[in-house]
Amino acid sequence: MTKSTAKSATDIQAPNPLGAIKAVQESYEELLKTAGPGMAYGRPVKSGDTTIIPTSEVLVFSGFGYGSGYGQGFETEGNEDAEGGGGGGGGGGKTLSRPVAVVIASPEGVRVEPVYDITKIYMAAITAAGFMLAMLVRFMRPTRLFKK
């Protein structure tokens, strides 16, 4: 007769996720530093009495996760403590910025001039034209309603 060394659910210690949580928090703080107010407003440029301040749109994308588990396997001869556990985490992020306007301060006053992204406008026009062409081809196709 073999001696049972099975542990109850209260004896099982799951891995401590605090180390992973701290690493995720530090990574997230570093990511947010890249999207601070200094990223939205560029360095002012002076030319005579006129000051020009570039402004940008700043986007931050991120995703993080953590998982852990612990389990006890079947007892086998010579391996009565068949148990194990572990945990792990991961994540990632990206910061994007693009110019959206220029603030111009002069003796005549302050005005904001938009920055047009011609490439984005052309890409939107090409995409819209592609969808319209696809729908036109679809509508011009003979219908199956008159099939015998």
Query: Would you say residue 2 lies in a domain?
Result: no
Number of domains in the chain: 1
22: confidence class by pLDDT, cuts 50, 70, 90: confident
Query: Would you say residue 45 lies in a domain?
Result: yes
Return the higher-pLDDT residue of 64 and 143. 64
Query: Would you say residue 35 lies in a domain?
Result: yes
Residues 123-142 have pLDDT tens digits of 999 999 999 999 988 888 77
Query: Would you say residue 135 lies in a domain?
Result: yes
In SS3 terms, 48-111 reads as CCEEEEEEEEEEEEEEEEEEEEEEECCCECCECCCEEEEEEEEEEEEEEEEEEEEEEEECCEEE
Query: Would you say residue 37 lies in a domain?
Result: yes
Domain, as residue range, for 50: 18-73+82-140
Query: Would you say residue 107 lies in a domain?
Result: yes
Instruction: Please say if the pLDDT value at position 6 is more than 50.
Output: no
Query: Would you say residue 131 lies in a domain?
Result: yes
